[in-house]
Amino acid sequence: MTNQARDFIQNRTFDEIAVGDSAQLVRTLLPEDIHLFAVMSGDFNPTHVDPEFARSSQFREVVGHSMWGSVLISSILGTEFPGPGTVYVGQTLKFWRPITIGDTLTVTITCIQRFEHNHHLLLECQCINQDGLKVIDGTAEVMAPTEKIKRPRMAMPEITISDRQQRYLHVLELTKGMEPIPMAVAHPCDTESLRGPIQARDAGLIIPVLVGPESKIREVAEREGLDLHGVRIIDVAHSHAAAETAVRLARTGEVEALMKGSLHTDELMSEVVNKETGLRTARRISHVFMADVPTYPHPLLITDAAINIAPSLEDKMHIVQNAIELAIMMGVPEPKVAILSAVETVNVKIRSTLDAAALCKMADRGQIRGGLLDGPLAFDNAVSLVAAKTKGIRSAVAGQADILVVPDLESGNMVAKQLEYLADALMAGVVLGARVPIVLTSRADTAETRTASCAIAQLMAHKRRQGVRL
């Protein structure tokens, strides 16, 4: 088809169609197709929109609405064969097998009978997937147009489904029914670093203990209209003293979690890792970003993108184990862990591929427990079933990862920030492997991000009360 032809929609009249004539359409099912169809139709069957439910169903994965295939049939009838002016009379379809994300359907419409007296056509409809298997077949009867119609193709707007508030509320649901936990907030001396813990308090997540210059804290609160009634404030002179005091409160058990305020990460973490007065355990300390991306069916855990700059293989073993245990706490029974690199094959010149292969073997030998590991995997193959299928990658992890393990801090931080600022991901962040969970957000993070991070910290604290350790 020429570019000029694509600019127009043109029908085929009844007289122009003979028995045996046909038309075809090829489409690949994407996650956003499922979401959009659910919103437009009101069909929120968990088989289609709830990955956790879908994993326990007979299909073991999210499947598309069967009627999505029938919509493709309708698309051909209305735009091409016969095209504009076509009137539906009836349709009978049979659905043979599910359509999964990444499946490519070839839809074929063939004329099998003509009715001269009323200009009706009987059309055979068939949808075949990329494996040559029949997905849908049946017939459609239409009244074909008798006059030639050629119209410019309308430029339709791009559609984006924004469910950010729902995703935010879903994160808060993780701790529904749990009592708030005491959390020390180190140096909350700007708007967002103070608004975050106050918002988390109002959401029933934490009991904030604000550590920092009291005059500055109250000045911010008054300027922004934040209610500090009943909030404990520990007055210290500067940010370093705030970090030291907050860590001491956690070490002595006065609080069950920490949050970084408007101070540099190194300033807080240097106190956390202090061998004499800090919060170290036998486990390597690492950081996990939780990214709830609108174009991905479930939250992604990304690690380590904030603490370990160039982790060794041993470091990565701890990093992976920390992330797996957090995912299990969040309700994922066997997290799928994608070990990221630039390629999918082991290359001796690319260290991250060697680390990925070693980590997978460590999991096979029980050195890493609780998760399903695969790697090396490029980013696209880790999160896209379409990309994985296109490249012929057969894996229980590829295209549906729960955890992304990045090669180093630089690459991980870029991945996380790109998802936040370019893909509208709802972000949360927490430090693992210390005596208490630590909310380690960026100074640029919103109050919403800080509150979501508090929900994860609250969940971890309650699991620790039950004897579950990270």
DSSP 193: H
Residue 9 belongs to a domain = yes
Provide the pLDDT for residue 468. Answer: 73
Q: Percent helix, strand, coil in the chain (nearest 5)?
A: 35, 25, 40
Do residues 288 and 394 touch, judged by C-beta distance below 8 A?
no
> What CATH number did the domain enclosing 11 receive?
3.10.129.10
Same domain, 290 and 429: yes
Residues 439, 430: contact at Cβ < 8 Å? Answer: yes
So what's the pLDDT on residue 104?
93
Q: What's the pTM value of the predicted model, to 2 decimals?
A: 0.70
CB 250 within 8 A of CB 222: no
Domain final position from 92, 127, 152 = 152
Tell the burial category of 54 from Cβ atoms under 10 Å away from its Cβ (0-12, 13-18, 19+): buried
The answer to the question of residue 121 being in a domain is yes
Q: Quick one: pLDDT at residue 321? A: 96
Whether residues 287 and 148 fall in one domain: no
Tell me the HSE value of 430 on the side-chain side, using a 13 A CA sphere.
30
- DSSP letter, residue 162: -
Alpha-carbon distances of 127 from 66, 69, 103, rounded to whole Å? 11, 7, 11
Is 199 inside a domain boundary?
no
Distance (Å, whole) CA 316 – CA 322: 10
Tell me if 84 is assigned to some domain. yes
160, 110 Cβ separation under 8 angstroms? no
Q: Classify residue 41: in a domain, yes or no.
A: yes
Q: Centre a 10 Å sphere on the Cβ of residue 404 and count the other Cβ atoms it contains.
A: 25
Residues near 390 by beta carbon (within 8 Å), at least 6 away in sequence: none
253 in a domain, yes or no?
no
Helix, coil or strand: residue 104:
strand
Q: Find the domain containing 127 and state its range.
A: 3-152
pLDDT of residue 380: 94
**Of 263, 219, 216, 217, residue with least CA distance to 244:** 263
Residue by residue, pLDDT tens for the chain (470 residues) are: 444 456 888 999 999 999 999 999 999 988 888 878 887 888 777 776 677 776 776 666 778 888 888 899 999 999 999 999 999 999 999 999 988 888 999 999 999 999 999 999 999 999 999 999 999 999 999 999 999 998 888 777 766 666 677 778 788 888 888 999 999 999 999 988 899 899 999 999 999 999 999 999 999 999 999 999 999 999 999 999 999 999 999 999 999 999 999 999 899 999 999 988 999 988 899 999 999 998 888 899 999 999 999 999 999 999 999 999 999 999 999 999 999 999 999 999 999 999 999 999 999 999 999 999 998 999 999 999 889 988 888 888 999 999 999 999 999 999 999 999 898 888 898 999 999 999 987 767 777 888 889 999 999 999 988 877 65
Domain end among 126, 152, 178: 152
Q: Please report, for the domain that includes residue 428, its CATH number.
A: 3.40.718.10
- How many domains is the chain built from? 2
Strands (E) across 245-379 are located at: 257-260, 286-292, 300-303, 336-340, 372-377
* Final residue in a domain of this structure, among 152, 167, 187: 152
Q: Quote the pLDDT of residue 176.
A: 87
How far is residue 403's CA from residue 286's CA, in Å, rounded to a whole number?
14
What's the sign of the alpha-carbon dihedral 363, 369, 372, 378?
negative
Distances (CA, A) of 71 to 46, 91, 161, 277, 394: 20, 12, 20, 64, 29
Structure tokens at 12: 């085929």
The token pair at 253 is: 């058990």
Q: How many CB atoms lie within 10 A of CB 128?
A: 17
Q: Is residue 397 one of the residues assigned to a domain?
A: yes
- Residue 469: inside a domain: no
Residue 3 is predicted with a pLDDT of: 47
- Looking up tokens 């349709």, which residue turns up? 91
- The pLDDT score that the predictor gives to residue 33 is 84
Tokens of 137: 């077949």
